[in-house]
Chains A and B, each alone.
Chain A
Amino acid sequence: MIVPAAQERLFLSEQNKLAQFEFLVMPHRKAAYNLARWLTRNDHDAEDVVQEAFLRAFRFFDGFHGGDSKAWLLTIVRNACHTWMQQNRKLTLDEDMGEYEAAEPSPETVVIENVDREALRRAIEELPPEFREAIVLRELEGLSYKEIGAVTGVPVGTVMSRLARARGRLAKALGERKAGGAV
């Protein structure tokens, strides 16, 4: 049964929590949807993941003690996306995530000139998830390497090598091969 007095106190502090949450976290909902949309590659799933992520974020909000609320929210969104990808078996787990030196075709033999917007979108969509999230967080959300490392749970050196490899792949997908290879 509802006990009015206790209920009222609860609502008061909950209301406070909601106000703080709206002030600190809600402004990043566009970034949250953008990341989820790029990782799920699907409108409907992105909406579900974001809703789930906001539910988790609100639940864990007591554990947020200041700092970068955007990176904090995106960490939760990113984890919700990876859970979703595992459940939907859309994550290629055997993707080679080795170091930059590991047999990546060198991108220096291509030249990027005119890039078509849709081709660019497609090329990013086809990147493995770890590369795709690094590119989205850096290029679209403007996060620093340190922040990307925090969101994706890897050291800064790994962020750097993932971005390098991701850009190498994009250059290969979008660039035109120069006759005669390297200059």
Chain B
Amino acid sequence: MTCDDARRLLTAYVDAELDVAHNMDIEKHLETCPVCARIVENQERLHSAIQASDLSYEPPPALDARVNAMLRGSVKPAARPRMVWPWIAAAAAILLALVFAGRLSVGRPQASETLIAQEVLDSHLRSLMPGHLTDVESSDRHTVKPWFDGKIDFAPPVVDFASDGFPLAGGRLDSISGRVVAALVYRRNKHLINVYIWPSPAPDSPPAAATLQGYNLLHWTQGSFAWWMSSDLNADELGQLGAHLRQSAR
């Protein structure tokens, strides 16, 4: 075997990827060729150094949560029983976030709200699956608003905020806590924002912000409607759209 022939196969030799015949040829060649032997030695040392250095990156725990939520978002109802623990943990986390933000007055029924938050996020993630985002795709409020007629027993306020940088992308029906709700979809650059609206007997309440699995949520009650917003958009800009929505619903 010539040095050139051997050189081509040294890497496969080090990786034990050669057949027996070639392996023997290389071993014979290495006995007589110190240059090729040096290359093999270097490659073996390199291999040992990489193995000893533990160079693998560990996925951040939040990524597991994101992936799990995304997968479950696509198959929610049947997957529900398995979600109990993460669900309670998430509910506790958002409750804490709301309490620490000082935006929840003591004595209000927060628990149900935190559970709704998880459902809103599940719905948001589900809407990101292909074909799930909108039932009616339009930036025209005069198309979107009548579309809801006859499908739900309330008329959600529909306004386009394109001039403020939040164009309306469409609407769909969704389901939160077993009730059918109106979902409006807005865009902010490349981010999608879901706005969920349904009738609520609760008195008007100021907006409460929370972060759940890396997503920002905003919730308030106004004009006999419960409002929930969810997005991967930053909290500031989400708050801007929230302010526009509250202003226009006044």
Q: Which of B71, B74, B129 has the most CB of A within 10 A?
A: B71
Out of A15, A135, A139, which one reaches B78, CB within 8 Å? A15
- Taking CB atoms, residues of chain A closer than 8 Å to B7 are 100
Look across to chain B and name the residue whose beta carbon is closest to the beta carbon of A167: B43
- Taking CB atoms, residues of chain A closer than 8 Å to B46 are 112, 115, 167, 170-171, 174
Out of A22, A107, A120, A145, which one reaches B50, CB within 8 Å? A120
A64 contacts B by Cβ under 8 Å: no
A177 contacts B by Cβ under 8 Å: no
- Taking CB atoms, residues of chain B closer than 8 Å to A120 are 49-50, 53, 55
By the criterion CB–CB under 8 Å, are B56 and A163 in contact?
no
Look across to chain B and name the residue whose beta carbon is closest to the beta carbon of A12: B78
A79 contacts B by Cβ under 8 Å: no
- Taking CB atoms, residues of chain A closer than 8 Å to B41 are 112
Out of B10, B74, B79, which one reaches A164, CB within 8 Å? B10
B92 contacts A by Cβ under 8 Å: no
**Residues 145 to 179 of chain B near chain A (Cβ within 8 Å):** 151, 173, 175
By the criterion CB–CB under 8 Å, are B56 and A30 in contact?
yes
By the criterion CB–CB under 8 Å, are A115 and B60 in contact?
no
A175 contacts B by Cβ under 8 Å: yes
Interface of B is mostly: helix
**Chain B positions 53 through 69: 1 when the CB is less than 8 Å from some CB of chain A, otherwise 0:** 11111111011101100
Min CB gap B198→A, angstroms: 15
By the criterion CB–CB under 8 Å, are B55 and A140 in contact?
yes
B39 contacts A by Cβ under 8 Å: yes
Q: A29-B67, A112-B46 are in contact. Are A160 and B51 (CB under 8 A)?
A: no
Give the size of the chain A interface in residues (CB under 8 angstroms): 57
- Taking CB atoms, residues of chain B closer than 8 Å to A97 are none
- Taking CB atoms, residues of chain B closer than 8 Å to A144 are 17
By the criterion CB–CB under 8 Å, are A111 and B60 in contact?
no
- Taking CB atoms, residues of chain A closer than 8 Å to B47 are 139
**Chain B positions 189 through 220: 1 when the CB is less than 8 Å from some CB of chain A, otherwise 0:** 00000000000000000000000000000000
By the criterion CB–CB under 8 Å, are B67 and A139 in contact?
no
By the criterion CB–CB under 8 Å, are A160 and B11 in contact?
yes
Out of B39, B42, B51, B53, which one reaches A121, CB within 8 Å? B53
By the criterion CB–CB under 8 Å, are B51 and A139 in contact?
yes
B130 contacts A by Cβ under 8 Å: yes
- Taking CB atoms, residues of chain B closer than 8 Å to A167 are 11, 42-43, 46
Interface size class of B (residues with CB under 8 A): 35 or more
Determine the distance from Cα of A113 to Cα of B51 in the docked complex, in whole angstroms: 15
Look across to chain A and name the residue whose beta carbon is closest to the beta carbon of B59: A33
B250 contacts A by Cβ under 8 Å: no
Out of A12, A34, A117, A183, which one reaches B53, CB within 8 Å? A117
- Taking CB atoms, residues of chain A closer than 8 Å to B129 are 55
A126 contacts B by Cβ under 8 Å: no
30 residue pairs of the A-B complex, CB under 8 angstroms, read A11-B75, A11-B78, A15-B75, A17-B75, A21-B71, A29-B63, A29-B64, A30-B58, A38-B57, A47-B60, A51-B70, A54-B67, A58-B74, A107-B42, A108-B36, A110-B42, A112-B42, A115-B53, A117-B54, A120-B49, A120-B55, A121-B53, A135-B50, A139-B50, A139-B55, A140-B56, A160-B8, A161-B8, A164-B10, A167-B11
The 6 closest A-B pairs by CB, nearest first: A33-B59, A15-B78, A115-B49, A37-B57, A164-B11, A14-B75
Q: A18-B74, A18-B75 are in contact. List 5 more A-B contacts (CB 8 A).
A: A34-B56, A58-B74, A120-B49, A121-B53, A174-B49
A contact set with B: CB distance below 8 Å? 1-2, 7, 11-12, 14-15, 17-18, 21-22, 29-30, 32-34, 37-38, 43, 46-47, 50-51, 54-55, 58-59, 100-101, 107-108, 110-113, 115, 117, 120-121, 124, 135, 138-140, 144-145, 160-161, 163-164, 167, 170-171, 174-175, 182-183
